[in-house]
């Protein structure tokens, strides 16, 4: 079977031109030119370095023969241009979840995809924590990462469950990443790569049916438009359209519903030339009955409370979400060593929700209910300009990347709450009349940032690689809150402002004793200014967003190794790291005084094994050990564990291709116990979940897949909120059946 490079990140096949075996340089250059492979969100020129720039170059036809399974679990590179080297030679722990795994697991949201990454813990804050609530809320390596989400390297804020229908890969960069993407990334960050036009025609559609009356349909259509007869600078063009629709209930939950739809058209021109332009847009809508879980007693289930019970109302609680974004990317190869790139994005996210948050009052032995309204609009304009320059001088090969980024983000929020009558613990919840709390709080937040960064990747001979980068961010955050009018404040608005210039950096040294093995040491940092996460400023001494408080600073050092085995089909990774987040505000309970010299310290080990064990057996396995403690001098909690940080977690997903067009697969996700409160008195129990998959290829165009989630039907608490009186159970045993059609 013949395939083009765009389908598979790594292809080990036979390429021949006129019956002659090609050299390594010709192989690489020929494959890139023939396929126009896309890197990240924008199609590349597809030309070898040796070829001259311009559309007039010609190459004889090239045939690529490959096994479709090769390389699927072991992507060689990331879409981030600030990491130009292969992953094996990148001095940082980076986990890439490719589209193949997302499809095999039937993962429909970003939160479900991130279950493949140990060291990530789901939170139960606003937006909940289970897959049936909106918002991708999680912590990574002991630090909150809910605002560290990026799409194609651009910050992606807004409270919604991000769908995977228009996602190529998900890349996880744990550890301080301020030099890469800017402010507020002590935890690291997660980047999703968008599907954009490719040089190969394809037409794909999927229909999913599941228990709890779940239905989902997606389509991915890509069409190449040859440039014959058009001006030479136009080159080839292509368009792509991704569609999604979903409706149904949530397994294991009464009256909880989820409806979603999405459309993502894109177009590219200049493919195969030295000037390329890609325009892509995306609209996602959701109409949900949101679920904020069950009441708990200090993190434990309440006797007499059924795990299926829903304490909201189909007539009162609701969640309406609309997210839109449009992105234009222009690339210009000035010559074979210098490329300029500009990305411009505008985005808007709107959420209107009324939710019911249940809790437990131990003093009265009653279930409390709080009805909360939240209407939030987030808008952003981002412009990034990047220059990539390659220089060779003697034994040194440099890849320099310089970037300038301007962003303007603003958020308009209306909130209100209303306390409903408490309920008896054993009483089944009933639907209640339509109600919406009056908005009592109105806030406006705006952040303007100018970031300048410079990176250098230096290859010194055959054995040494030095990488480094730095970023300066000049930011200005403004905040307005409406409060009751007074004689001194007649209009009721209270204004706050903070501005500063902050620095982040990273450096790594890699030694390669042999080509297949890289051993590295690395350092990285990031800065989180007040208001960086939520555009909120407050001069109260109890707020980390006090503009008079020093920004939090995170620093990390790591030592690791990456080894390609089995002729490059299998990758083994290991790393030790030490991370400190300083200038953390804490309350000394012994004196009642707030101090800003606290810290969070995380020591850890990560292991990974990803790729092909044999031609038919693939594996994606990772494990993380964390020792996360708080450093609060003189406080009674000094030395206690950081909340929501399990000591050990691991994940395994594996598939085996049998004869008879049959593939079997399965995996296990384990997360250790973690404390849910600062006093370390309430623990979220450990849990293990087993999943399974069976796939049958009916013919060249149709395949069918059966997914069984939580195969053993284990009851477990997936997340507990900060006051330990509310939590979310994990989904029970579930069944979905998928039919895929492709041409």
Q: What is the enclosing helix (H) or strand (E) of 627?
A: strand 617-631
Nearest to 110 by CA among 358, 284, 329: 284
DSSP 721: -
How many angstroms separate the Cα of 462 from the Cα of each of 87, 456, 513, 606?
A: 17, 17, 9, 27
Please check whether residue 606 is in contact with residue 574, taking contact to mean a CB–CB distance below 8 angstroms.
yes
Query: Kind of pairing, strands 294-297 and 726-729?
Result: antiparallel
Give the position of tokens 């980068």: 469
What pLDDT, on a 0 to 100 scale, did the predictor assign at position 535? 83
Residue 729 has pLDDT above 70, yes or no: yes
Report the C-alpha gap between 23 and 615 in whole angstroms.
25
pLDDT digits (tens, 9 = 90+) for 532-548: 777 888 887 777 788 88
Please check whether residue 57 is in contact with residue 429, taking contact to mean a CB–CB distance below 8 angstroms.
no
**In 547-569, where do the E strands start and end?**
552-565
What pLDDT, on a 0 to 100 scale, did the predictor assign at position 546? 85
Please check whether residue 83 is in contact with residue 90, taking contact to mean a CB–CB distance below 8 angstroms.
yes
> How is 45-112 classified by DSSP, letter by letter?
----TTSPSSTT--------B--TTTTTTS-S--S-TT--S-GGG-SS--EEEEHHHHHHHT--BHHH
What pLDDT, on a 0 to 100 scale, did the predictor assign at position 39? 36
| Domains of the chain by residue range | 87-742
Among 127-131, 138-142, 351-355, 448-452, the least confident range: 127-131
Query: Kind of pairing, strands 318-335 and 300-301?
Result: unpaired
Give the position of tokens 């009558």: 421
Both tokens assigned to 551: 């920004």
Query: pLDDT > 70: what percent of the chain?
Result: 87
Residue 241 has pLDDT above 60, yes or no: yes
Bridge partner residues of 675 (DSSP): 683
Query: pLDDT > 90: what percent of the chain?
Result: 68
What pLDDT, on a 0 to 100 scale, did the predictor assign at position 43? 41
Q: What is the 3-state secondary structure (H, E, C) of 101-153?
A: HHHHHCCCEHHHHHHHCCCEEECCECCECCCCCCCCCEEECCEECCCCEEECC
Estimate to the nearest angstrom the gap between the alpha carbon of 269 and the chain centroid. 28
* Mean per-residue pLDDT, 442-460: 95
Report the C-alpha gap between 376 and 390 in whole angstroms.
44
Residue 62 has pLDDT above 70, yes or no: no
How many angstroms separate the Cα of 426 from the Cα of each of 433, 684, 721?
A: 21, 23, 22
pLDDT band at 52 (very low <50, low <70, confident <90, very high): very low
* Mean per-residue pLDDT, 95-108: 95
What pLDDT, on a 0 to 100 scale, did the predictor assign at position 69? 55
Residue 713: CB atoms within 10 A of its CB come to 11
Give the position of tokens 């209407």: 375
Give the position of tokens 């924008």: 42
Please check whether residue 481 is in contact with residue 456, taking contact to mean a CB–CB distance below 8 angstroms.
no
What mean pLDDT is reported for the chain? Answer: 86
Please check whether residue 367 is in contact with residue 423, taking contact to mean a CB–CB distance below 8 angstroms.
yes
How many angstroms separate the Cα of 162 from the Cα of each of 76, 165, 284?
A: 25, 9, 9
Burial label, 83 (beta-carbon count in 10 A; 0-12, 13-18, 19+)? buried
Bridge partner residues of 606 (DSSP): 575, 624
The verdict on pTM exceeding 0.85 is yes
Q: Give the CA-trace dihedral at 481, 483, 486, 490, to 10 degrees.
A: 50
pLDDT band at 344 (very low <50, low <70, confident <90, very high): very high
Please check whether residue 327 is in contact with residue 265, taking contact to mean a CB–CB distance below 8 angstroms.
no
Q: How many residues does the chain have?
A: 743
pLDDT band at 420 (very low <50, low <70, confident <90, very high): very high
* Mean per-residue pLDDT, 513-520: 97
Residue 315: CB atoms within 10 A of its CB come to 12
Report the C-alpha gap between 61 and 52 in whole angstroms.
18
CB within 8 Å of 670: residues ≥ 6 apart: 648, 649, 650, 651, 686, 687, 688, 689
pLDDT digits (tens, 9 = 90+) for 689-716: 999 999 999 999 999 999 999 999 999 9
Topology at the third CATH level for domain 87-742: Maltoporin; Chain A (2.40.170)
* Mean per-residue pLDDT, 292-303: 92
pLDDT band at 136 (very low <50, low <70, confident <90, very high): confident
How many angstroms separate the Cα of 331 from the Cα of each of 272, 302, 482?
A: 12, 58, 45
Report the C-alpha gap between 67 and 743 in whole angstroms.
18
Please check whether residue 117 is in contact with residue 107, taking contact to mean a CB–CB distance below 8 angstroms.
no
* Mean per-residue pLDDT, 581-603: 82
Residue 288 has pLDDT above 90, yes or no: yes
pLDDT band at 242 (very low <50, low <70, confident <90, very high): very high
pLDDT band at 501 (very low <50, low <70, confident <90, very high): very high
Among 19-23, 161-165, 245-249, 678-682, the least confident range: 19-23
Report the C-alpha gap between 240 and 224 in whole angstroms.
9
What pLDDT, on a 0 to 100 scale, did the predictor assign at position 656? 97
Q: What is the enclosing helix (H) or strand (E) of 645?
A: none
pLDDT band at 70 (very low <50, low <70, confident <90, very high): low
Q: What is the enclosing helix (H) or strand (E) of 32?
A: helix 24-35
Residue 408 has pLDDT above 80, yes or no: yes
Q: Which residue has the higher pLDDT, 43 or 538?
A: 538
Report the C-alpha gap between 274 and 270 in whole angstroms.
7
């Amino acid at each position: 079977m013949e395939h083009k490079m765009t389908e598979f990140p790594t292809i080990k096949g036979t390429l021949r031109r006129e019956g002659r075996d090609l050299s390594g340089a010709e192989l690489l250059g020929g494959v890139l030119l023939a396929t126009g492979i896309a890197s990240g969100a924008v199609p590349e020129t597809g030309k070898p370095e040796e070829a001259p720039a311009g559309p007039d170059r010609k190459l004889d036809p090239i045939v690529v023969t490959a096994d479709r399974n090769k390389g699927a679990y072991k992507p060689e590179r990331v879409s981030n241009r600030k990491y130009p080297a292969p992953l094996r030679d990148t001095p940082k722990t980076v986990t890439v979840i490719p589209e193949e795994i997302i499809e095999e697991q039937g993962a429909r949201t970003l939160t479900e995809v991130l279950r493949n990454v140990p060291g990530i813990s789901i939170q139960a804050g606003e937006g909940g924590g289970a897959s049936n609530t909106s918002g991708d809320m999680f912590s990574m390596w002991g630090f909150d990462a809910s605002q560290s989400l990026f799409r194609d390297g651009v910050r992606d804020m807004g409270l919604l469950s991000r769908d995977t229908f228009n996602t190529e890969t998900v890349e996880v960069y744990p550890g301080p990443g301020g030099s890469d993407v800017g402010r507020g990334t002590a935890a690291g960050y997660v980047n999703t790569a968008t599907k954009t036009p490719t040089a190969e025609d394809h037409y794909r559609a999927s229909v999913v049916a599941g228990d709890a009356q779940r239905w989902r349909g997606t389509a991915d259509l890509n069409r190449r438009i040859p440039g014959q007869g058009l001006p030479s600078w136009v080159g080839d063009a292509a368009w792509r359209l991704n569609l999604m629709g979903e409706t149904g209930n949530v397994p294991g939950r009464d009256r909880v519903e989820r409806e979603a739809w999405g459309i993502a058209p894109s177009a590219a021109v200049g493919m195969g030339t030295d000037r390329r332009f890609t325009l892509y847009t995306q609209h996602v809508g959701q109409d949900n009955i949101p679920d904020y879980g069950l009441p708990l007693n200090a993190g434990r289930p309440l006797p007499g409370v059924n795990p299926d019970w829903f304490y909201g109302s189909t007539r009162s609680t609701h969640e309406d979400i609309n997210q839109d974004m449009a992105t234009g990317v222009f690339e210009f190869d000035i010559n074979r060593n210098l490329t300029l790139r500009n990305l411009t994005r505008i985005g808007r996210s709107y959420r209107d929700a009324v939710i019911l948050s249940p809790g437990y009052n131990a003093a009265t032995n009653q279930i409390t209910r709080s009805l909360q309204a939240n209407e939030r609009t987030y808008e952003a304009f981002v412009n990034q300009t990047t220059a990539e320059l390659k220089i060779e001088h003697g034994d040194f090969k440099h890849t320099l990347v310089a970037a300038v980024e301007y962003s303007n983000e603003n958020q308009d929020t209306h909130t209100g709450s209303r306390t409903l009558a408490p309920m008896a613990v054993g009483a089944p919840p009933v639907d209640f009349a339509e109600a919406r709390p009056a908005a009592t709080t109105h806030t406006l937040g705006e952040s303007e940032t100018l970031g300048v960064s410079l990176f250098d990747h230096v290859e010194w001979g055959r054995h040494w690689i030095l990488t480094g980068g730095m970023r300066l961010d000049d930011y200005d955050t403004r905040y307005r809150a409406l409060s009751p009018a007074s004689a001194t404040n007649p209009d009721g608005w209270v204004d706050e402002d903070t501005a500063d210039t902050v620095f982040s950096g990273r450096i790594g040294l890699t030694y390669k004793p042999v080509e297949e093995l890289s051993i590295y040491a690395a350092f990285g940092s990031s800065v989180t200014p007040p208001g960086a996460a939520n555009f909120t400023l407050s001069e109260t001494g109890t707020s980390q967003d006090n503009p008079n408080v020093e920004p939090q600073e995170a620093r990390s050092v790591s030592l690791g190794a990456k080894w390609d085995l089995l002729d490059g089909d299998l990758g083994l990774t290991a790393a030790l790291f030490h991370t400190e987040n300083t200038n953390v505000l804490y309350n000394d309970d012994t004196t009642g005084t707030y101090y800003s010299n606290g810290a969070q310290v995380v020591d850890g080990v990560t292991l990974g094994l990803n790729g092909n064990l044999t031609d038919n057996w693939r594996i994606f396995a990772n494990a993380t050990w964390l020792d996360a403690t708080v450093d609060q001098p003189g406080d009674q909690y000094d030395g206690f564990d950081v909340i929501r940080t399990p000591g050990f977690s691991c994940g395994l997903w594996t598939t085996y291709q049998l004869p008879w067009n049959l593939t079997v697969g399965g995996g296990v996700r384990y997360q250790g116990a973690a404390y849910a409160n600062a006093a370390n008195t309430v623990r979220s129990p450990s849990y293990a979940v087993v999943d399974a998959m069976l796939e049958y290829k009916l013919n060249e165009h149709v395949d069918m897949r059966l997914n069984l989630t939580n195969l053993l039907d284990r009851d477990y608490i997936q997340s507990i909120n900060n006051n330990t009186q509310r939590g979310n159970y994990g989904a029970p045993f579930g069944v979905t059946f998928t039919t895929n059609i492709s041409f």
